[in-house]
């Protein structure tokens, strides 16, 4: 099972990207997690570009990756009570016709933040966006890594056992959910 993982953060030392690296480490047998690296290359959404010259190359690559994946795993920080603009922008591009790539796609969300809420509000916003695109969202477990600076070590490894356990549970549930939906 191939899972495309997208971090909603551009920061090199992003806790959300580090959480996705932890997911790679914790993936159950039979699951491969591929972390998307091209978010910064996605231009601002402009439907005149799409309808005129077509999808820019970075957008076409992301659309193809979403379509080819068996499932999605999105880790998003929380900016101003919502998802980062770069993540929403990428979703807007990928969701345009033809072949809206999120339609029917199994998906899970998680997030890490330095505050106490652990991206709860951003995750709810992201769930609303993805459900509107007919992605099939996994409801539980919810993974909200709060006080992220204390959950990762100096090398960027997720060391908090509770958080690691929740990420592992999320991946097992995503694997079962995807198998169920594809079956």
pLDDT the model gives residue 117: 84
Is the pTM higher than 0.85? The answer reads: yes
Task: Give dist(CA 13, CA 68) in Å, integer.
Answer: 28
Task: Give dist(CA 112, CA 149) in Å, integer.
Answer: 9
User: Cβ distance 27 to 33 under 8 Å?
Assistant: yes
Three-state SS at 70: coil
* Domain residue ranges in the chain: 2-182
Question: What class, spelled out in words, does domain 2-182 have in CATH?
Answer: alpha beta
Closest CA to 94 of 105, 84, 83: 105
Profile the chain (183 residues) by mean pLDDT over runs of 10 residues.
98 96 98 98 97 96 98 96 97 94 97 92 97 97 96 97 98 98 90
pLDDT the model gives residue 141: 96
pLDDT the model gives residue 183: 83
């Amino acid at each position: 099972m191939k899972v495309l993982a997208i971090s909603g953060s551009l920061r090199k030392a992003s806790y959300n990207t580090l959480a996705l690296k932890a997911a790679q480490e914790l993936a159950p047998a039979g699951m491969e997690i591929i972390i998307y690296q091209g978010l910064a290359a996605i231009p601002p959404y402009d439907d005149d570009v799409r309808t005129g010259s077509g999808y820019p190359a970075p957008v076409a690559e992301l659309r193809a990756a979403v379509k080819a994946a068996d499932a999605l795993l999105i880790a998003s920080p929380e900016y101003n009570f919502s998802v980062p603009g770069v993540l929403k922008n990428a979703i807007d591009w990928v969701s345009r016709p033809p072949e809206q790539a999120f339609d029917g796609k199994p998906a899970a969300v998680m997030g890490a933040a330095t505050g106490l809420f652990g991206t709860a509000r951003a995750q709810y916003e992201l769930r609303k966006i993805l459900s509107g695109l007919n992605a099939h969202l996994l409801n539980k477990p919810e993974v909200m890594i709060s006080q992220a600076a204390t959950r990762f070590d100096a090398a960027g490894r997720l060391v908090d056992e509770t958080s690691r356990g929740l990420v592992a549970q999320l991946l097992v549930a995503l694997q079962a959910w995807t198998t169920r939906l594809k079956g």
